[in-house]
Structure 1
């Protein structure tokens, strides 16, 4: 299921030329991403009241779901932003 923030994230990465490196990092670290998401979750209580708290929560959900990671990589690799 496509997250509504994906387009924003894609534009952010595209503006900086980071789409290809981001996809490579997602591929390389995919086995560790659920663990990374769990460790990032420890900081969530401090960040949930900030303006980017909801986006941080959506990022945690993305990193914790291997199927969603694959869908996001496919979305990033599609042309256009």
Structure 2
């Protein structure tokens, strides 16, 4: 969670809203104490998740299949054993 002073939050409110829209929670402080939090809308978060799932399912229809061996190989690429 990001902390920001109230005076700075006032000056950067639009930028803070962009960050919240991307899923970050912002704590607004006054004299070092949290006085408010800006959090993402839960319904919007669920809607983005539903859309991502739908996109993945559509992609799976056209993507070539992969074997278990290929998946394990991709997982292990760059690892030191």
RCO comparison, higher one (Cα < 8 Å, 6+): 1
Q: Which has the larger radius of gyration?
A: 2
Give the TM-score normalised by the residue count of structure 1.
0.25
Tell me which protein shows more helix as a share of its residues. 1
Tell me which protein shows more strand as a share of its residues. 2
